[in-house]
Every structure is written in C-alpha cells, then in structure tokens.
Structure 1
C-alpha cells in the first residue's frame, strides 16, 4: 500500500537518498523549512517506516572483497520448516549481502561477496552447502558493475 507524500516529504527523501549524512540544518536549508519542522518531518518518515534506516555504503573492493557473485539456490523439500531453517542460516553469514525469494525454477537469489575465488568456493562448499536442505546452487560471477544504486525514484509533485 503506497503512502501519499507531499512535495516537502518527497524533497526530504530525495536529499537523504543522495546524502544520508547531511545535517538537519543543511537539509532544512535545501528544503526551505525551519530546522525543527524539517527534523519533525524526517522523524515522521522514520516512524511511519518510509525510511527504514540510515546506512553507510562501503566499497567492498577497498576492503579486499574482489569477488561479487549471485547464487541461485534451490531447497528440497521446499516447505515452511526448510525455508525458516535456510533463512536463519543465511542471516548468520556476513558474506551474504542480500537474499531474495523467487518465483520460477529457483527458490532464492543470494548476493555474496568474498575475498577471492578460493574464499568463495570454500564458503559455498564448507558453509552454505553444509545445510542438507540445499539441493542446488548455481552461481553467476559479476564481471563488472555497470550500475548500482539504492535510490528509490521519488515522483515529482
């Protein structure tokens, strides 16, 4: 269910998506509100769940993570118990950055980072595949990142 936002809320969201570290004072000046009104609006966006969290996006390569891969995972049997077990395990692995449930011929898509190919292989074999409900893992290695964003388009007016 979409929430209806006014132009001020939309402007706040656009600015915060561009730079979440912006001070409330700077944000209020850009938006054209008093600092207290701007802070109240931002807090409301957080309280209503429109803003889920403020985060720092880290360049994984600068931290030595040279491998980025997407792994398609199938579970067997696919039921509530195995799904719950799989999701609890995936949450424990810091290498797994994102996890999506899918329709179609695969059950899940994982975004995984690793130091190198050996580390990735070891993670798949020694950690992920140790869960016996995983029947198949199909990997696509990322050769280059052509576009990456967490920005959600905010319609004008």
Structure 2
C-alpha cells in the first residue's frame, strides 16, 4: 500500500476531524479556509482513499462500568494459518475484546480487553477466551493507570 500525498488543506481537515468528528462541514470549512463545497469534496475524497476510515464516538469505558483494562498475549498450539484465522474469527465475536493484533515474538496475538471487575475478567478467561480452540496460553497484564491515550495520527 502506497502512502498518500496530502496537501495542507487535507492535513488540516484530518487534524480537525481527529479532534471532533462531529464538526459541521461549515465549521470545518471556516477553520481551514475553504469554501464549504470544496471542503465537502475533500472529505469525500479522503473517505474514498480510505484515509478517513470511519467517524465514531470515543466512549469512556469506566463510565459504562468497565473498570478493568487488560492486555493479554495469546499463544496458540498448533500455530498455523488455519488456527490463526479461526482465532481471529472468534475474537471478532467477543465484545470485551476491543482490539486484536497479530504480533511477533513468543505469542501470536495481543488483545486489549475491557472487564467490569476482576471476577468478570476471570469468568471471561474461563468462559470465553479458553473456549476458543487452540488457545494454549494467556499472559495478562492489567492496566494500573493510563498515562496517554489518543486516536490521533501525526501528520508530519
């Protein structure tokens, strides 16, 4: 996949949409100094190029009762394309898994998991994660404090 070349207007559009994706086209056009129709066309083009993948709300999981955030390294046995694809398919169905990455090293996957409390996480491990075929080991790190959390991608 090749890198897209963005001009200053595109970079400003991305910057302001990363700050607040609900900004109106009129307000966005004023901030970047373009006519509303030109601004709308640029946003459309950024979507078509898949630079802008989606517009979404960022939710505070703690306000919804998810007090625990964990990162879990998952090992598989046997580890091959078939078992990996099966794990990915199952992970996509489990709502507590909010991110799933294929990684290098001793483990096959890294998961970001939210849980309401420690008992909830324990039950999640036994009832959901260990029920996925070929999972051979789970190594969990529990987040004590979040020092930085952002969805911003640097533009320079």
Q: TM-score, normalised by structure 1?
A: 0.97
In 2, the alpha carbon distance for the partners of 1:125 and 1:25 equals: 51
In 2, the alpha carbon distance for the partners of 1:104 and 1:141 equals: 20
In 1, the alpha carbon distance for the partners of 2:123 and 2:117 equals: 10
- Could you tell me which residue of structure 1 aligns to residue 56 of structure 2? 55
- Could you tell me which residue of structure 1 aligns to residue 5 of structure 2? 4
Question: Is the aligned partner of 1:127 residue 2:137?
Answer: no
In 2, the alpha carbon distance for the partners of 1:82 and 1:41 equals: 42
In 2, the alpha carbon distance for the partners of 1:104 and 1:135 equals: 15
Q: Secondary structure at the match of 2:130?
A: helix
In 2, the alpha carbon distance for the partners of 1:71 and 1:4 equals: 36
Q: Which runs of 5+ in 1 are unaligned?
A: none
In 2, the alpha carbon distance for the partners of 1:34 and 1:111 equals: 41
In 2, the alpha carbon distance for the partners of 1:63 and 1:128 equals: 22
User: How much does 1:50 deviate?
Assistant: 0.4
Q: Secondary structure at the match of 1:130?
A: coil
Q: After the TM superposition, which parts of structure 1 deviate over 3 Å for at least 4 consecutive aligned residues?
A: none
In 2, the alpha carbon distance for the partners of 1:132 and 1:152 equals: 35
- Could you tell me which residue of structure 2 aligns to residue 81 of structure 1? 82
8 Å contact kept, 2:87–2:133: no
User: How much does 1:60 deviate?
Assistant: 0.3
User: How much does 1:2 deviate?
Assistant: 1.0
How many pairs were matched up? 155
In 2, the alpha carbon distance for the partners of 1:58 and 1:147 equals: 15
Q: Which runs of 5+ in 2 are unaligned?
A: none
Q: RMSD over aligned Cα, in angstroms?
A: 0.6
